[in-house]
């Protein structure tokens, strides 16, 4: 048994899984750029107050899951690893005077988040998210744009038929009255509330709608619904969001009990689930509007909306759907040689080809040519560059591993020949060397 292991709740991303995650990261970055979102990076840890104030102290994230760091200096400020990206991005927006920039400020980030959560399938203490934020636009068109961007990400990732749940949770004008009504409803059913939810009732009754306890799920099914109690402005905003979603062909389901788990949300809220899967623990992404967060973190009142999509969970959902999540990169060619001991020549030719921008592997083991060619085929290479006696005449043999054909190519023309084959998506050996 190994002496040391990865910390509980974390895991090593071995090459196949890391390749799959990198593919999702590239897709996220390319899509965000296409939609006009610019990259940003915030520290992995912040003052814990950024999350306690921004996310809300009466939330699972802060009460149970905040990954606190212990500074060496007893008088040092308290730090916490970031459990989600939005609060840190908004902190940066305020700190760097981004309110003076042309609005909205549209930013994106992919990276690690941390929650000291109870480890279970799909829930890690270190996990990866794709995040976008549009700060400074009250919507509703930008709300629809962000939801459509999320839907496109899942579609382009190869995950079929995701379900998007949508709700509006109102704002400061209409939500207080709804919270009073909801509190009265729960008080009337006080004997049915689990102890943890009873303790939360007076501090954060909306959090009870987010409860995962089976008793609360049944009770919440008959609880008052916020969508029936929206003020005129929130109702008009929500209707406009749905109109824009219809215009861009995004399917969704209304979910009146969806409140998300963080205090900073207002109005639009949404979550995404794999096809045929339900339950908040199974969500693979979500987001919403947070029109009060900038002010809460020291800026002037500024609207904002964003999402965080769990890349780890997308990998798991792709696997469950039978969709290959990883595609191992194959070299265009492997440089092999008839003289097993001549690793110098093989390395030199491979280095020259890599300098020309080609993905090439050099066979650096001292084994017979047949074994070298078998390994090249296992790698999925298109070609084997075979070094032999003709290397003294500045030629090599270029073998098409799939077609089984072979011919001599000059060393000076080798990179050009491989580039031509790569760009045309064919092996190119039928074309005379030029």
* Of the candidate ranges 50-59, 237-246, 302-311, 327-336, the one whose mean pLDDT is the lowest: 50-59
Please report the pLDDT score of residue 75 as a whole number. 67
Please report the pLDDT score of residue 56 as a whole number. 56
Report residue 323 as tokens: 């969709």
Say whether pLDDT at 138 is over 70. Answer: yes
Say whether pLDDT at 432 is over 60. Answer: no
pLDDT classification of 426: cutoffs 50, 70, 90: very low
- Per the model's pLDDT, the better-predicted residue between 59 and 276 turns out to be 276
Please report the pLDDT score of residue 429 as a whole number. 42
CA distances from 169 to 132, 172, 245, 309 (A): 20, 10, 18, 20
CA gap 83, 310 in Å, rounded: 12
Task: Encode pLDDT of 151-203 as tens digits.
Answer: 999 999 998 889 999 999 998 888 889 889 999 999 999 888 888 888 888 77
pLDDT classification of 134: cutoffs 50, 70, 90: very high
Task: Encode pLDDT of 201-210 as tens digits.
Answer: 877 788 788 7
The pairing of strands 79-81 and 68-69 is antiparallel
* Of the candidate ranges 16-30, 59-73, 362-376, the one whose mean pLDDT is the lowest: 59-73
For the chain, what percent of residues have pLDDT higher than 70?
Answer: 90
Mean residue pLDDT across the chain: 87
Please report the pLDDT score of residue 263 as a whole number. 59
CA gap 369, 90 in Å, rounded: 59
Please report the pLDDT score of residue 398 as a whole number. 92
Please report the pLDDT score of residue 289 as a whole number. 94
pLDDT classification of 89: cutoffs 50, 70, 90: very high
Report residue 349 as tokens: 């030719």
Say whether pLDDT at 130 is over 80. Answer: yes
Query: HEC states along the chain?
Result: CCCCCCCCCCCCCCHHHHHHHHHHHHHHHHHHHHCCCEECCCCCEEEHHHHHHHHCCCCHHHHHHCCEECCCCCCCCCEEECCCCHHHHHHHHHHCCHHHCCCCEEEEEEEEEECCCCCECCECCEEEEEEEEEECCCCCHHHHHHHHHHHHHHHHHCCCCCEEEEEECCCCCCHHHHHHHHHHHHHHCHHHCCHHHHHHHCCCCHHHHCCCCHHHHHHHCCCCCHHHCCCHHHHHHHHHHHHHHHHCCCCCEECCCCCCCCCCCEEEEEEEECCCCCCHHHCCEEEEECCCHHHHCCCCCCCEEEEEEEHHHHHHHHHHCCCCCCCCCCCCEEEEECCCCCHHHHHHHHHHHHHCCCCEEECCCCCCHHHHHHHHHHCCCCEEEEECHHHHHCEEEEEECCCCCEEEEEHHHHHHHHHHHHHHCCCCCCCCCC
CA gap 253, 239 in Å, rounded: 14
pLDDT classification of 431: cutoffs 50, 70, 90: very low
pLDDT classification of 433: cutoffs 50, 70, 90: very low
User: Please, are residues 314 and 273 in contact by the beta-carbon 8 Å criterion?
Assistant: no
Give CA 309 to chain center in angstroms: 5
Residue 383 backbone phi and psi in degrees, to 5:
-130, 155
pLDDT classification of 213: cutoffs 50, 70, 90: confident
What value does the mean pLDDT take over residues 418-424? 78
What value does the mean pLDDT take over residues 68-96? 87
Buried residues in 337-374 as b, exposed as e (16+ CB within 10 A): beebeeeebbeebbebbeeeebebbbbeeeeebeebbe
CA gap 243, 234 in Å, rounded: 14
Domains in the chain, please, with CATH?
15-174+230-320 (3.30.930.10), 333-424 (3.40.50.800)
For the chain, what percent of residues have pLDDT higher than 90?
Answer: 54
CA gap 241, 147 in Å, rounded: 10
Please report the pLDDT score of residue 109 as a whole number. 97
Residue 273 backbone phi and psi in degrees, to 5:
-130, 150
Please report the pLDDT score of residue 165 as a whole number. 94
The pairing of strands 285-289 and 304-310 is antiparallel
Residue 216 backbone phi and psi in degrees, to 5:
-75, -35
What value does the mean pLDDT take over residues 376-392? 89
User: Please, are residues 422 and 393 in contact by the beta-carbon 8 Å criterion?
Assistant: no
Task: Encode pLDDT of 214-260 as tens digits.
Answer: 888 888 888 888 888 899 999 999 999 999 999 999 999 998 888 76
Say whether pLDDT at 117 is over 80. Answer: no
Please report the pLDDT score of residue 69 as a whole number. 84
* Cβ neighbours, 10 Å, residue 142: 22
Please report the pLDDT score of residue 327 as a whole number. 64
Task: Encode pLDDT of 14-55 as tens digits.
Answer: 888 898 999 999 999 999 999 999 999 999 999 988 888 766
């Amino acid at each position: 048994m190994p002496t040391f292991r990865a910390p509980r709740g974390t895991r090593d991303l071995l090459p196949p899984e890391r390749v799959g995650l990198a593919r999702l990261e590239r897709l996220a970055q390319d899509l965000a750029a296409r939609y006009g979102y610019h990259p940003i990076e915030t520290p992995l840890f912040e003052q814990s107050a950024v999350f306690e104030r921004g996310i809300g102290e009466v939330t699972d994230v802060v009460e149970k899951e905040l990954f606190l760091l212990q500074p060496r200096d007893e008088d040092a400020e308290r730090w916490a690893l970031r459990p989600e990206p939005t609060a840190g991005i908004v902190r940066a927006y305020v700190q760097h005077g981004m309110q003076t920039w042309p609005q909205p400020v549209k930013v994106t980030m992919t990276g690690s988040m941390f929650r000291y959560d109870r480890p279970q399938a799909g829930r890690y203490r270190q996990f990866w998210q794709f995040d976008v934020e549009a700060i400074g636009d009250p919507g509703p068109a930008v709300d629809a744009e962000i939801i459509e961007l999320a839907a496109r990400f899942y579609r382009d990732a190869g995950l079929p038929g995701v379900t998007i749940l949508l709700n509006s949770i109102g704002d400061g004008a209409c939500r207080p009255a709804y919270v009073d009504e909801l509190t009265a409803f729960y008080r009337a059913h006080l004997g049915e509330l689990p102890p943890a939810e009873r303790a939360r009732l007076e501090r954060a009754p909306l959090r009870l709608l987010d409860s995962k306890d089976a008793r609360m799920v049944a009770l919440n099914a008959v609880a008052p619904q916020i969508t029936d109690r929206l003020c005129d402005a929130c109702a008009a905003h929500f209707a406009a969001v749905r109109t824009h979603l219809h215009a861009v062909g995004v399917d969704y389901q209304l979910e009146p009990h969806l409140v998300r788990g963080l205090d900073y949300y207002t109005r639009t809220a949404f979550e995404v689930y794999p096809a045929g899967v339900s339950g908040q623990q199974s969500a693979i992404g979500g987001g919403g509007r947070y029109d009060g967060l900038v002010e809460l973190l020291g800026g002037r009142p500024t609207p904002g909306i964003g999402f965080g999509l769990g890349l780890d969970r997308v990998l798991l959902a792709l696997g469950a759907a039978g969709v290959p999540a990883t595609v191992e990169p194959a070299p265009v060619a492997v440089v092999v040689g008839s003289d097993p001991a001549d690793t110098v020549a093989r390395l030199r030719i491979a280095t020259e080809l890599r300098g020309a921008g080609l993905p090439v592997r050099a066979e650096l083991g001292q084994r017979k040519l047949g074994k070298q060619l078998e390994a090249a085929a296992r790698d999925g290479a298109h070609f084997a560059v075979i070094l032999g006696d003709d290397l003294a005449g500045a030629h090599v043999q270029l073998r098409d591993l799939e077609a089984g054909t072979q011919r001599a190519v000059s060393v000076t023309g080798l990179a050009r020949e491989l580039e031509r084959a790569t760009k045309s998506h064919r092996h190119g050996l039928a074309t005379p060397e030029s």
